Amino acid sequence: MLKELNRVIELLEEQLLEEVDISLLARESGVSEYHLKRTFRFLAGVSIPEYVKYRRLALANEALVKGKSVTSVAFTYGFQSVEGFSRAFKSWANFSPSEAKQSGRQKSYPPLKFLIDVKGGISMEFRIEKKPAFQLVGVTKRVPIQFEGVNQEIMALAQSITAEQRAHMHELGDLYPKQVVNASYDFSEGRLAEQGELTQLIGFVTSQENPYDDLETVGVAAHTWVVFPSQGAYPQSLQETWANAFAQWLPSSDYQLVDAPEISFTKFEEDLSNVYSELWLAVEPKSTLK
| β-sheet bridge partners, residue 200 | 141, 184
Is the pLDDT confidence value at 189 over 70? no
Q: Of residues 91 and 44, which shows the higher confidence score?
A: 91
Is the pLDDT confidence value at 193 over 50? no
Distances (CA, A) of 183 to 44, 136, 138, 141: 22, 8, 10, 11
Is the pLDDT confidence value at 289 over 60? no
Which amino acid is present at 145? I
Please, where are the H alpha helices in the chain?
Answer: 2-14, 22-29, 33-44, 48-65, 70-76, 82-93, 97-103, 152-159, 163-172, 236-244, 250-252
Q: Delimit the domains of the chain by residue range.
A: 2-103, 127-289
| Range in 97-106, 140-149, 178-187, 221-230 with the lowest mean pLDDT | 140-149
| Range in 22-31, 52-61, 197-206, 215-224 with the lowest mean pLDDT | 22-31
**Alpha-carbon gap, residue 138 to 23, rounded angstroms:** 32
* Element containing residue 261 per DSSP (H, E): none
In contact, 100 and 106? CB cutoff 8 Å: yes
In contact, 222 and 282? CB cutoff 8 Å: no
Same fold, 2-103 and 127-289: no
pTM above 0.85, yes or no: no
**Over residues 51-75, mean pLDDT:** 93
SS3 125: coil
Residues 239-281: tens digit of each pLDDT:
889 888 988 888 878 899 999 999 999 998 878 899 999 999 9
State residue 270's pLDDT score: 78
Is the pLDDT confidence value at 219 over 80? yes
Which amino acid is present at 246? F
Percent of the chain with pLDDT over 70: 92
| Burial per residue of 8-39, b for 16 or more beta-carbon CB atoms within 10 angstroms, e otherwise | bbebbeeeeeeebebeebbeebebbebbbbbb
Is 2-103 a CATH 3.30.2310.20 domain?
A: no
**Alpha-carbon gap, residue 164 to 56, rounded angstroms:** 51
β strands within 103-186, DSSP E: 127-131, 134-144, 181-185
**Over residues 150-169, mean pLDDT:** 93
**Over residues 73-82, mean pLDDT:** 93
Residues 84-127: tens digit of each pLDDT:
999 999 999 999 999 999 988 889 888 888 765 544 455 678 89
**Over residues 119-144, mean pLDDT:** 85
Q: Domain 127-289, what fold?
A: Multidrug-efflux Transporter 1 Regulator Bmrr; Chain A (3.20.80)
Residue 276 CB-half CA count within 13 A: 6
Roughly what angle, to the nearest 10 degrees, separates helices 33-44 and 22-29? 90
Q: How many CB atoms lie within 10 A of CB 94?
A: 10
**Alpha-carbon gap, residue 136 to 184, rounded angstroms:** 11
Is the pLDDT confidence value at 198 over 80? yes
Average pLDDT of the chain is 88
